[in-house]
Structure 1
């Protein structure tokens, strides 16, 4: 019937939640824009991952990746001339990678041998006599010690080209034969050199080589009460003046006057002589300095890297009567054995010891050092083709007797050292 509201159809099933509403349609967001928005949100997280990865790579390269989580053993030792070894950043890194940290006390070889060993894990004297004394002490006290001998370094007289040429002119020295390149190495006749101890440099006409020096012709040493190099030079001079014979207690009185002239009341601090030699005024302050070969070679390598050529003014005199420094690492407990084993056998450490100018004790012909110097553009010293006379060091008690004659008093029983950590050498 018209105008009448129709009844609802009762046959249509109701919806699940009542009447269904019409959907509200909005603008469609493009899929690419959504991905970009997600990427922007994730960008800080991704950058953090990249930076963390780069940091881990650097730590791994430096050998420090696991250091915060690894146990590090700290070893405390007393060293003489090889103290700089454990201040070298590369040595520090290699040892840390192997779980070791070294703290050192700098001292002369005499204190290393005669000072208190309480609280130390190792000592590193520069020569065999000091090492022997330590062995005897440890044996007498029934205490542990183990010896390692990683490298050597010859005793040398470091000088300057004009002085070497003046000595060559009077046949007290002769240049080593080199195939090409600058003349850095000479051989010195110690008997003729020591015979000049009361002669002045100007008397050798050193002026014609560009220098003037009115001082006596003497090799400067560190204090003989502190330094192994000074004691070694004392042994070399006494051996020469004693007709190439080892100093004995019977010959001390007769040789003492000449030995006083050779040492002339001198005695620089143990760590000051090298610094004086390489300083800008070294030719005046230290015309001839008693050093170790490795110190000169390390200087020339660094100079070549900085300037593109070696320092031709600074040269070496190798005594015909050779004296080899033989540093001995002595572990005072089993824990310190690990460091000795690394110094003698770890490939990275052996390579770095070579780079620092040392002759590896395990090497048969020293080719590692020679090859390294040549790779750096530094002329290598001439290989020994003759059997040089080797100086035999006197017993320490004989050495003490001669030192007392020279200085007029015995050496102090103890010379204070200076404790350093590896970071101080960086």
Structure 2
């Protein structure tokens, strides 16, 4: 079971502030922090966390009160001593008459025992509640008193956004707004065609085309586009140099990958070992970019849209005749790959882990490469290319209810969430955020995207995808 500490951290901060307010006249903030830290460490490793802040405050307050009383005894002439003495006189102390003192001490012991019994009972109840919650995942979590309840919002997202939603800093910002987001991942076209959206509050595919289909199916007019990412190619320096000699890659501060000569290579079944002066990668397999499955993934659909545009004499595919003309050409780009995965996370993970051998060229979102660089996963010989032309994939959130609409608004307007999106490689409405991230990490990206095309209409793209799908059979 993964322990969620966001609410606990908030409660610890709040109780520390209360203790500083109560005891700040006697102790420094650092001393009070240390007392709270010692009290909290007693509960390390315990899976039941709901009542930890209550028990921590009780223990810390008791320690501070004992120390405060001891300090007063050593300074009998101060005003503080008089205040403590008055408190003791009001509460009952050792100077009371014998019978009365014994009665007071007996009652005090009874009260202490009762308090301890109540706390023990609460912990037992909590353990039973957590055990039941483990057996019934849908049960709502029990909240500790004094800690604001977070509204649980569930979504299904393209896999390239999983690292963003799993970021603890993102969770913390969302918690400040009173929500906790849980997401599942799927291919963007899969989200639009086969995922059961009835159990989610929002759908967040990677393109407006997939979002449009969801809107039609669910009769939803609202949508949010909090960030975007152009399509790109992840490769290795030796491969880029080899393709530069073949006239496919054009070197520069930001290198580009010319789709026209590449399509000619694919049409001629060109193998890597047939490229001239090839000592870097002399393997007997066709030159092909590794993609996801176009029948389930948006990134592959964007690859199809670009290839269709180039195959159609650099014109957006429109009409039945143009569709039929380009399908044989673009189908070769996919069928020749063999098995392909359903979401963009798979081939990029293989690129990061396996190196140049199995995946010399991988079709990705620019955001994936930037995100991996920020996290220190990019090795020195890995490099980023921009296809010419490329497409800007606009990640589009479709709310499926009021809770999903709230997430769409937060992702689009909250400055901290927009900044964190840039850290994860996405281009937000504020271009300076993305520029700051790429500059700080020395990532050579295209500052201004010039050679960008628009996608075909939703229906045209669907027919192209269906045509490619039939080529697999």
**Is 1:120 aligned to 2:195, yes or no?**
no
| 1:201 aligns with one of 259, 266, 272 | 272
Q: Using the alignment, how far apart are the partners of 2:197 and 2:185 within structure 1?
A: 13
Alpha-carbon deviation of 1:260? 2.2
Q: How far apart are the structure 2 equivalents of 1:92 and 1:206?
A: 51
2: CA distance between counterparts of 1:232 and 1:347? 29
- The 8 Å contact of residues 157 and 183 in structure 2, kept in 1 or not, is answered as yes
TM-score by length of 2: 0.65
Query: Offset of 1:190 from its aligned partner?
Result: 0.9
- The equivalent position to 2:383 in structure 1, one of 315, 321, 327, is 315
CA contact (8 A) 1:189 1:320 kept: yes
Q: Assess, with a 3 A threshold, how the Cα gap between structure 1 residues 291 and 245 changes in structure 2: closer, same or farther.
A: same
Shift of 1:84: 3.0
State the distance in 2 between where 1:49 and 1:204 align. 66
Number of the residue aligned with 1:348: 416
Q: 1:51 to 1:265 in 2, by over 3 A?
A: farther
Contact 1:370 1:380 in 2 (8 A): no
1:86 deviates by 1.2
Query: Separation in 2 of the partners of 1:77 and 1:145?
Result: 18
Give the C-alpha shift of residue 315 in structure 1.
0.9
Distance in 2, Cα, partners of 1:87 & 1:339: 15
Over residues 264-291 of structure 1, what are the superposed CA-to-partner deviations in whole Å (9 max), with x where a residue is unaligned? 2432242310111111x32011111110
Three-state SS of the structure 2 residue aligned to 1:285 is coil
- The residue number in structure 2 matching 1:303 is 376
2:440 is equivalent to residue 375 of structure 1:
yes
Correspondence for 2:78 = none
- After TM superposition, list the pairs within 5 Å mapping 1:13-412 onto structure 2: 50-52=34-36, 68=144, 69-80=147-158, 81-115=160-194, 116-139=196-219, 144-177=220-253, 185-197=254-266, 198-205=269-276, 207-208=278-279, 210-248=280-318, 249-266=320-337, 267-270=340-343, 271-279=345-353, 281-303=354-376, 311-360=379-428, 362-363=429-430, 366-376=431-441, 378-384=442-448, 387-388=450-451, 390-408=452-470
Give the distance between the partners of 1:332 and 1:166, measured in 2 at CA: 48
Which whole-Å CA distance do the structure 1 matches of 2:456 and 2:293 have between them? 18
Which shifted more, 99-108 or 282-291?
99-108
Q: Which moved more, 1:156-165 or 1:167-176?
A: 167-176
CA pair 303-105 structure 1, distance change in 2 beyond 3 A: closer
Distance 1:407 1:75 in 2: 34
- CA drift of 1:55 comes to 7.8
C-alpha RMSD of the superposition: 2.8
Maintained 8 Å contact 1:156/1:319: yes
**CA distance, structure 1, for counterparts of residue 465 and residue 438 of structure 2:** 37
Partner of 2:62: none
Q: 1: distance between equivalents of 2:32 and 2:426?
A: 45
Write the distance in 1 (CA, Å) between the matches of 2:472 and 2:278.
40
For 1:407 and 1:53, locate their aligned partners in 2 and report how far apart those are by CA, in whole Å.
60
Secondary structure at 2:197's aligned position in 1?
Answer: coil
Deviation at 1:50, TM superposition (A): 3.8
Higher deviation after alignment, 232-241 or 85-94:
85-94
Distance 1:107 1:189 in 2: 30
Q: Which runs of 5 or more residues in structure 1 are unaligned? A: 1-45, 57-64, 178-184, 305-309, 412-426
Following superposition, the deviation at residue 203 of structure 1 comes to: 1.8
Which structure is larger by alpha-carbon Rg, 1 or 2? 1
Separation in structure 2 between the aligned mates of residue 217 and residue 340 of structure 1, nearest angstrom: 41
The number of residues matched between the two structures is 336
CA separation of 1:49 and 1:286: change in aligned 2, threshold 3 A: closer
Contact 1:400 1:410 in 2 (8 A): no
More helix by share: 2
Report the CA distance between 1:301 and its aligned residue: 2.3
Shift of 1:215: 1.6
Q: Is the 8 A contact 1:126 1:228 kept in 2?
A: yes
Provide the rounded CA distance (Å) in 2 between the counterparts of 1:383 and 1:393. 21
- Deviation string 1:176-221 (CA, Å, 9 cap, x unpaired) is 23xxxxxxx411111112211111112223633x333222111111
TM-score (norm 1): 0.72
For 2:190 and 2:332, the matched residues in 1 are separated by: 26
2-side partners of 1:264 and 1:125: how far apart?
24
